[in-house]
Each structure stands twice: as C-alpha cells, then as structure tokens.
Amino acid sequence: MDNLKRAAIFAALFAFAGLQALAQDVTLTSRDGKVELIGTLLGFDGEFYRLQTEYGELTVDGSGVNCEGPGCPNLQDFVAEIQLSGSATMGAVLMPALIDAFAQRNGYKVNRETVDATRFAYVLTRADTGKTAARFYFRATNTDEGFADLLADEADIVLALREVRRDERINARDAGMGDLTGANRSRVLALDAVVPVASASNPIKAISPLDLARVFGGQITNWQELGGPDAPIDLHLPSLSSGLSQAIVDQVMAPVQLEFAEGITRHALPSEIADAVARDTFALGITSYAERRNTQVLTLGGTCGFFLDAARRTIKTEDYPLTAPMFLYFPARRLPLIAREFLAFTRGPGAQNVIRRAGFVDQTPEEIPVDEQGNRFANAITVAGGETSLEELQRMTATLTPMARLTTSYRFEAGSIRLDAQSRSNVQQLARALEQGKYDARQLLFVGFSDGDGAAKANRDIALRRAQAVRRAVSAAAVTANMERVNVGVDAFGEAMPMACDDTAWGRQVNRRVEVWVR
C-alpha cells in the first residue's frame, strides 16, 4: 500500500472516529460541583463546548467546567476541526490556496490528506513543536450539497456560488442556526462572473443578453441567426446542481422568463466547459470568468451600441452585469480560534493577492482616474436626450474630472431598493477602510445614477435618494470611524451617464447604481 492510500484511509478513519466521539454523551460539571449538564457533545472550539441537552443546544465556557465521558476532547493537545462543504470550484482551488498562504504567514506546515475526488483534509501542524493545530475537512461537490450538509449539522462553513435560497434560510433558522442572511452569517470571499464563451476560431465576437437567453432556451439554434456561419449551435453548461448553473438561471434565463432547452451538454466542472468549447468551432458555453481558459469570451452587446466586456475592473464595479460573488455561510455558533483567525486573514491584502493569483477577482478597492475610464463621458454626450441638458453634462464633468472613481460601487436587486449581495459586502469593506483611516483628510462623494425610464428630474431625485441611503449604510457600519476626518458628500446625475442600453432589464439594472468618487 503506497503512502497516498495510507493517508487517505487514515483521514477517512479519523473523520469517522471523530464523528463517533462527538456523538457520545458527556457530563459537564461546574468547578464547585453545584451545576451539572448531561448531553451529546456537538463540538468544542478549544474554548467553548457546544452541547445538545434536554434544554436545547447550549454553549458552555470550558474554563468553568470539567468534562467527563468518552466524547470529551483532549484539552492539552486540542486539535481544531473545521468542516467545509459546497462548491467544488471554491473547495478545489481557492480555499486551499488561501489555507496555504495563511499557514505560511503564521508558522504552520501544511499537509493534504486525500480520501477521494471530493473529500480531502488540510492538516496544519506547528512548525516549532510538530503538534497538529487544525484539520480543515473539505467536501467539494456543489452549493446545494453544501447547504444540505449545513442543515444536517455536518458543515461549519458553506462554500457557495449563489445566495442562500428562501427554503434553505428558513430551514437553517428553524434548526437554530440563525438567519444566514445576517451580517455575521455570510460574506463575499471573492468575485467571479458568468460569461458566454465560444471557440477562438468562431467569427462571432459579441452577443446580447437577450439572444444569449434565447439560444439556451432553444429559440435560436443556428449561428446564422447571430450573424455567423450556417451551422447548428452546440450548447454547454454546468451541471444542474451546481451553484454556477443556478446563477445562470437567475441572471440569464429568469429575467426573460425562459427555461433551458433539451439536449444541452452538462459538465461537472466549469473548466470542462471551457475545454469542450475551445475544441469545437460551433460550440457556445456559459462558464465562470475564472475558468474561461483558452476560449473567446463574448462581449455583451445591445441595440443602442453599448458593449460590456468581462474584465477584472468591470466585475469589481459590477459594470459587467453578470457578476457572480463567491460566498461563505456560517451557522450561528462559535468557530475554533484558528478558524476565526483564518477567516480574518481572508479579508486582508495578502489574501487578496492569493485570490488574484488563483484567477478570481479580489475585492481590494482601486482608484480609476477619469482618463482611464474609456468612453464613459463620450457615451454620456452621445446618448444625451432632450431632458439631459448640456448644463447638467457640464456640471457632471466639472464635478467628477478632478476625482477618481473607486471600484467600490453599489447596485440594487431587480425590482427592489435592497442592495445586491456584492454591494452589501462593499458597504462593510468601505466601512472598514474608513475605520482604518484610509480616507482621512480626503473627499468621498457618493454619486447616484439611474436608468432612462421616466422623466429625467424624477430619475435624478431617485438616484439622489439612493446615494443618500448608501452613505447612511456605510456611515452606520463604520462604527469606530471618525467621520469628521473625511469630507463625505452626496450628488446625483440621474440618467446622464448610462453604462448599458435601457431597452432590456439587464441594461436598466446596470444603469441604476451608486458610484463612489474620491479626491
């Protein structure tokens, strides 16, 4: 038996034995012997016991009790165990890369123990003592399975390529796991995007979001209908249970109320989609931006002449409409200290570098000078209608030209005043930056923009109210910031600077935004 097989068997047996031990009854007794709790040990984070008792699930400070029973942990050589389940894309590439970087920074050695294609563990040992500090157990399948494992109490962290569904949220709340949409129950780890891809040899370079949905809905079946050669379109998508597939449903198909056609080739991994499309001149796929590989990413176009390319900056700003944040979800319980330290590390600049190297889009705010913003101001002049006056365009240009745009932008869920998931994460990020003094002695301007549906004055008023709401949300989140050190203002230019065509729901949603400008 080779070493790899030994390690796999050992990891499987260890995980099974750990679950068996935690399933046994233990007795927690106070130091003075006056209080006694009997129950099933659900977890121990090195400081607190989590116990299922006749009174419900309880969390007990380990410093105040003695533990008796076969399930009691070894306090002297405690090993933190963290169960992660969900997206294979996140579990196979991104999270291991972040664990490696965290270990190197904090003096741990890392060893991978593989059970099978979907189950593996990263073991962190202290470089100075050789003692094991933590085991990060992974079950890398798909987002659905991640939430199922969480509800079965078999996961501490869910890796998700989509937001939690309503039924999952209700079931988690009913199971005592808290509201998974709460501020401390979820967060965006990194950014990705849904992109249409074709072979590099395909002459088609752009496609409208509507036509993309019609192709995968079976209404367009030949490249000739898109201006290409007379050949049938061979379609490729992720597996139905993947979070990426569900994101495609939400962002591509649902806005035009279409369902997927029959006969689409499904793939377990996004990279397999790219490889299949790259080999076939007449194939069309939808995959993740990070896994586009050697394919040609098609530009999203519109009837008004605006085009939206997927790129690192346009994904950060959500100017590209089909963004796909990558989420971490946690139940309402304490994680071991090393897990909390790891999660804190994932927010820092070192982790953002790892995210970029892994092919995903990081969340580090960037300042984009006006001269690097392409044709945005030229487009504003080109599409200006009778209600957008030259005076308003001049006012916008005079206000924004001396400033730089932050990639931190804010957009709203379709048909709602609620910020979308990426924007809610951006509220927390900008708030932390303010607390750290990164914008002290500088000017921040929250600028509201709207779509062109309706009267220009009404649109500007709506955009101004949205900008004010975002400013209030950021200020409320920046609890420890000294806001007197920052010059924070609000303005709005309504429909004066569209990013996309207003003739589709996608375009209107892209145009409704609050940007942050800095000087």
Cα–Cα distance for residue pair 280/201, rounded to 1 Å: 9
Q: What is the pLDDT of residue 375?
A: 67
> Are residues 486 and 416 in contact, defined by beta-carbon separation less than 8 angstroms?
no
Map tokens 């379109």 to a residue. Answer: 233
Whether 370 and 404 share a structural domain: yes
The total domain count for the chain is 4
pLDDT (0 to 100) of residue 192: 94
If asked whether residues 197 and 334 sit together in one domain, one would say no
- Please check whether residue 271 is in contact with residue 238, taking contact to mean a CB–CB distance below 8 angstroms: no
CATH number at residue 134: 3.40.190.10
* Element housing 139 (H / E): strand 132-141
Give the separation between CA 164 and CA 180, rounded to whole angstroms.
7
64 plus 166 within the same structural domain:
no
φ, ψ (nearest 5 deg) of residue 281 = -60, -30
CB atoms within 10 A of CB 494: 26
Contact (CB, 8 A) for 51 and 42: yes
pLDDT for position 388: 73
Nearby residues of 442 by Cβ (< 8 Å), 6 or more positions away: 486, 487, 518, 519
Max CA-CA distance within the chain?
Answer: 84
> How many CA atoms, within 13 angstroms, populate the side-chain half-sphere of residue 303?
6
**Shared domain check, 64 and 23:** yes
- pTM, two decimal places: 0.81
Distance spanning both ends of the chain, measured CA to CA:
64
**Cβ 277 vs Cβ 295: under 8 Å:** yes
Do 37 and 60 belong together in one domain? Answer: yes
Q: How far is CA 89 from the centre of its chain?
A: 12
Residue 256: what are its φ and ψ, rounded to 5°? -115, 15
Residue 87 identity: S
Domain presence at residue 347: yes
- Give the position of tokens 């970087």: 101
In a domain, 432, yes or no: yes
Which domain range does residue 295 map to?
A: 192-316
Residues 169, 295: one domain?
A: no
Q: Is residue 321 part of a domain?
A: no
Q: Of 286, 316, 346, which residue is a domain's last? A: 316
Alpha-carbon distances of 386 from 305, 334, 389, 390, 399, rounded to whole Å: 19, 58, 7, 9, 22
What's the one-letter identity of residue 279? R
Q: What is the pLDDT along the chain (519 residues), one digit of tens a residue?
A: 454 444 444 344 344 334 444 456 889 998 888 888 899 888 788 788 888 888 888 888 887 888 898 888 877 778 899 999 999 989 988 999 999 999 999 999 999 999 998 999 999 999 888 899 999 999 999 999 999 999 998 999 999 999 899 999 999 999 889 999 887 888 899 999 999 999 999 999 999 999 999 999 999 999 999 999 999 999 999 998 888 999 999 899 998 999 999 999 999 888 999 999 999 999 999 999 999 999 999 999 877 777 889 999 999 998 898 999 999 999 988 888 899 999 999 998 899 999 999 999 999 999 999 888 766 777 667 666 667 777 888 888 899 999 999 999 999 887 677 888 889 889 999 999 999 999 999 999 999 998 888 888 888 999 999 999 999 999 999 999 998 899 999 999 988 888 887 777 778 888 899 999 999
**Are 385 and 352 in a shared domain?**
no
Strand order in the sheet with 25-30: 56-61, 48-53, 36-44, 25-30, 65-68
Give pLDDT, residue 8. Answer: 42
> Are 483 and 412 within 8 A, CB to CB?
no
Based on the fold, state whether residues 398 and 494 are members of the same structural domain.
yes
Q: For 437, left (φ over 0), alpha (ψ -120 to 50), or beta?
A: left
pLDDT of residue 9: 40
What pLDDT is recorded for position 42? Answer: 83
Q: How high is the pLDDT of residue 384? A: 63
Distance CA 98, CA 91 (A): 10
DSSP structure class, residue 200:
T
For strands 80-87 and 132-141, give the pairing: parallel
Q: How far apart are CA 517 and CA 368, in angstroms?
A: 9
